[in-house]
Structure 1
């Protein structure tokens, strides 16, 4: 299909704000650069999700200590994300992405210095600040660069950029750490975000950062909302935020703890994490296209049902393992169940990621994109951090099977929310996308 570049028009609420010399939309140069910067930066994040807890466990930390490395990372991530709407409201789009990518990558080689829990937590805290900056600005820019009728596909495409590192690194990172060495993994996780920072600077220089130089950050129809409007927006975001929070907490069980009891069967752990990543990537992109075609997110209910079923199957497979937290084998049937369960949860989680994000953008309206992006990322990362602690305590006390069963039960609770049962519509009195 021939691409048609639209004539330049003044900024308004019904069209995206992009660099004046570059076409906007999913095929524009700006969007492609954003995708590339996102893939590179998230590689450094995803690669270490299961690896740092394993490194901490090798240093003598128990399940709670291993989970604490993820929790502290997510704690500083969320603390940073809370401040992001304020920063973006004041023109922070241009510098936030490269600065965050640098903070995510530069401290990473320090992991190799020691496996003691204290230094690992300190490095994780610094990296969490960088990830908080990158995650919020990336999601907000993705939808600022497209027309309102492309928001679902933009969210899906951004989700693919976020999910591709999961596909490549979430499973292979464990294998690389066990076969090649943890130090090599730490250096890979350092270099990729630095490459993302370089691409983000190029994105800024070509004018595709979503904020033309001639437009003041607080001027025009796309200015962030006033504090009282933001409070109303946040109230409208509570329901989809709750879904994201609960499912993200459950996902921490997969990314933080699944590889530990399966360390003696690394092929099973790799296959399970690969299945989780592939399913998450594919379904998130499909849900975005479906949301645009139907005019609103429609895949949230089957996504949550699939996530609950996957967690329950994983719990059944892991139940026989030692409650003290030592590694073991689940047997042939258990190995298949782990892979299928992780894949099914990944599919449900991927669909829920896209539909909760699109629901938040719809409820917030264009002027609230920064707030909606921050809220969604806070839900994702706060859920991941809290889940790592709670599931770590449950694993340490009861075992892996009960921990995953508890995550399945908690995820089933959100099925009662209207946003899950009836789909997502713009909040009353708020402009939809």
Structure 2
């Protein structure tokens, strides 16, 4: 379909979806969103909790970051295998349920020890499940809808991942600090197991109309759409941008709670505004993508993320002096987290839609794997690398270097977009 839908026509989700797919209003898509929102609670809450628990055991910033790095290492290794499992191993049916269970079941074991080695081992096991969930979830969000709904589908999926974090990121830390780490880890583990049960119903929803999509039947034209073999050069620029911005996000989520621990309310506020900003940024990018059939927010998103990181750097540089955070630190920290979240959310949706559009339907598994490797690899590298820089230079300088790296990537973001949506060329 070359021409975009006029503003006076009915919304795309109210029209009969092509290819017999139920689309955004289907029960299968609704189950996927519900399973993601519930299951990802086990990721969002635990991500800052494990480093905080490790630091209380005397691990130090580098060791605390190592728990996140181990989680992300096994995540990325699992994601490398996921395209084969999805396209040839029937993985669209079982990958999400099994992955969510593996992510949640070991979580209540964390309070048993503060020794770094078992914490890293548990994190590594959970990373396998997370790797399965992320690739399967992103690919399913695209496969369960027609091409002209893909921007909103990935946006809804982003909402399902991000909205719980508005409460869970700060709430998990709050529960741990006030009710105990045992309670926090048990609740989050059970949430992931519940997400596993919900996701099992996607296959059976909508009278079986999802099954061709889940089996991976190609719906596009051209060699990439038929075979799923996507040239890496087509995905390289959005991958690098995802790596860089995810590294910066990892710095916010993993380390901000440590220097600001003396003001639990401020930690909660920073994490909540970051998560809310990411949700708004991702949903806005997805809606604009479907409306204009173009990706326009990639470069602005990177610029906004760099600005937010710079504000956070100023707050933590100030806080490096020690003591309880003052009003100035609080304002800068909350503002920086909100601004960074907006930019990061936009970059998330722009990069994933770029990759999915360039890959075509038969390459959704591969594109999803590459994007999630960028996200999670960047998160792990950011946790480990920034932990080392923080130990050497302090929190403020480490975040300032991150802001400089994001600003340096602006030319790459400009080269990577705007790009016409592949939904137009597939129809």
Larger % of helix: which?
2
1:311 to 2:306 alignment: no
Among candidates 387, 390, 396, match of residue 385 of structure 2:
390
Among candidates 47, 50, 53, match of residue 49 of structure 1:
47
Is this contact kept in 2: 1:243–1:414, CA < 8 A?
Answer: yes
Cα distance in 2 for residues equivalent to 1:60 and 1:135: 31
Cα distance in 2 for residues equivalent to 1:100 and 1:5: 34
Q: Return the TM-score normalized by structure 1.
A: 0.90
Q: Which residue of 1 aligns with 2:277?
A: 279
Q: Which residue of 1 aligns with 2:160?
A: 161
Q: Measured at CA, do residues 210 and 257 of structure 1 come closer, stay the same or move farther in structure 2, by a change above 3 Å?
A: farther
Q: Which residue of 2 aligns with 1:11?
A: none
How many Å apart are 1:309 and its aligned residue? Answer: 0.5
Matched residue SS, 1:319: helix
Deviations 1:35-77 (A, max 9, x none): 0011111000000111100000001101000000000000000
Q: Measured at CA, do residues 16 and 192 of structure 1 come closer, stay the same or move farther in structure 2, by a change above 3 Å?
A: farther
Is this contact kept in 2: 1:31–1:208, CA < 8 A?
Answer: no
Q: Measured at CA, do residues 17 and 397 of structure 1 come closer, stay the same or move farther in structure 2, by a change above 3 Å?
A: farther
Q: Measured at CA, do residues 223 and 191 of structure 1 come closer, stay the same or move farther in structure 2, by a change above 3 Å?
A: farther
Cα distance in 1 for residues equivalent to 2:338 and 2:209: 35
Q: Which residue of 1 aligns with 2:138?
A: 139
Q: Measured at CA, do residues 256 and 292 of structure 1 come closer, stay the same or move farther in structure 2, by a change above 3 Å?
A: same
Worse overlay, 296-305 or 245-254: 296-305
Worse overlay, 336-345 or 410-419: 410-419
Extract unaligned runs of 5+ from structure 2: 1-9
Is this contact kept in 2: 1:225–1:367, CA < 8 A?
Answer: no
Q: Measured at CA, do residues 4 and 156 of structure 1 come closer, stay the same or move farther in structure 2, by a change above 3 Å?
A: closer
Q: Which residue of 2 aligns with 1:12?
A: none
Among candidates 295, 300, 311, match of residue 302 of structure 1:
300
Worse overlay, 225-234 or 264-273: 225-234
How many Å apart are 1:222 and its aligned residue? Answer: 6.6
How many Å apart are 1:421 and its aligned residue? Answer: 6.6
Matched residue SS, 1:248: helix
Is this contact kept in 2: 1:98–1:196, CA < 8 A?
Answer: yes
Matched residue SS, 2:47: coil
Is this contact kept in 2: 1:93–1:210, CA < 8 A?
Answer: no
Q: Which residue of 2 aligns with 1:376?
A: 371
Q: Measured at CA, do residues 280 and 210 of structure 1 come closer, stay the same or move farther in structure 2, by a change above 3 Å?
A: farther
Q: Which residue of 2 aligns with 1:331?
A: 326
Extract unaligned runs of 5+ from structure 1: 8-14, 19-23
How many Å apart are 1:246 and its aligned residue? Answer: 0.4
Q: Measured at CA, do residues 385 and 418 of structure 1 come closer, stay the same or move farther in structure 2, by a change above 3 Å?
A: closer
Matched residue SS, 2:409: helix
Q: How many residues align?
A: 415
How many Å apart are 1:109 and its aligned residue? Answer: 0.8
Is this contact kept in 2: 1:262–1:328, CA < 8 A?
Answer: no
Is this contact kept in 1: 2:279–2:345, CA < 8 A?
Answer: yes
Matched residue SS, 1:49: helix
Deviations 1:295-327 (A, max 9, x none): 11111122111110010011011113348xxx6
- Cα RMSD between the aligned structures? 2.6
Deviations 1:147-176 (A, max 9, x none): 111111111001000102211201111111
